[in-house]
Amino acid sequence: DKFRQCGGWLIKAAWGYRLTPAARKAADEALAAFSGCHDFSRFTEKEKLETEYRDRTRRTVKHFEVYGGGGGDGGSGGGIEMVQLRVTGSSFMYHQIRKMVFVALATILSRLDPMETVHASLSGRKLPGATGSELLLAPGELLLLREIHLSDDAAVCLEEATASAYGGEDRADALNRLRLEFKSERIYRKAKEVGLPALERWLPDLAFVARNMANAAARLQHTRRV
């Protein structure tokens, strides 16, 4: 069972996917470590970094949290079958969220210190046991846009841009277009159907990285003691 390979932190059962209490605590700590304003230059593609973002790589993460889980043994929103990771921020770069999810899950599964490991990834240091500097991408099929909150200035800019590009859309139409482009939770109905196979293909890679991280950290600790 691919989920058992991930250290037993995710329990696959007939009724859904649940976090154990210990995993829930680790998840809360790992996700919370991303909160605040950070330089996420390592969390996007190099090409985008050189052309689109350049010196605009600082982003503010307001909330990053676990929601749901299907029951009272680790989920806070009992009616949600699958555990959800919800992130709220001022803006996100290309691939940023998918790499944040990878770092958080690898940290949880390796059982390393969440704050230290997440901050190491933000500062550009290699994760323990990593063979390269790149962070893996979590599957994009399950990444959905939940809500859009616009300031008045941003709303005006959006309306002007869409009016020019699409012939006079109002704000509601413009927001719906954004939701379509970003696979909105409200209208992208096949997320689970498409996403679960992608997730199951990715989990062995995640488990492999997490084991390497845990083993490397253990070797380092042993060397320090010796």
Which pLDDT score, from 0 to 100, does residue 8 have?
39
The amino acid at 125: R
Which pLDDT score, from 0 to 100, does residue 45 have?
86
Residues 116-139, mean pLDDT to the nearest whole number? 80
Regarding whether 169 and 115 lie in a shared domain, the answer is no
Quickly state the pLDDT bin for 13 (edges 50, 70, 90): very low
> Between 221 and 198, whose confidence is greater?
198
The amino acid at 112: L
Domain count, the chain: 2
Quickly state the pLDDT bin for 99 (edges 50, 70, 90): very high
Query: Which of 89, 90, 79, 68 lies closest to 18, judged by CA?
Result: 68
Tokens in use for 190? Answer: 């096949």
Could you give the CA distance from residue 49 to residue 198 in angstroms, rounded to a whole number? 26
pTM to 2 decimal places: 0.74
Residues 135-149, mean pLDDT to the nearest whole number? 80
10 Å Cβ neighbour count for 153? 8
Quickly state the pLDDT bin for 36 (edges 50, 70, 90): very high
C-beta of residue 144 within 8 angstroms of C-beta of residue 191? yes
Angle, helices 96-110 vs 191-225, to 10°: value is 50
Pairing of the two strands 84-89 and 36-39: unpaired
Regarding whether 182 and 139 lie in a shared domain, the answer is no
DSSP bridge partners of 66:
85
* Boundaries of domain holding 170: 149-187
Regarding whether 183 and 104 lie in a shared domain, the answer is no
The amino acid at 30: A
Regarding whether 198 and 171 lie in a shared domain, the answer is no
Question: Comparing 24-28, 137-141, 147-151, which segment has the lowest mean pLDDT?
Answer: 147-151
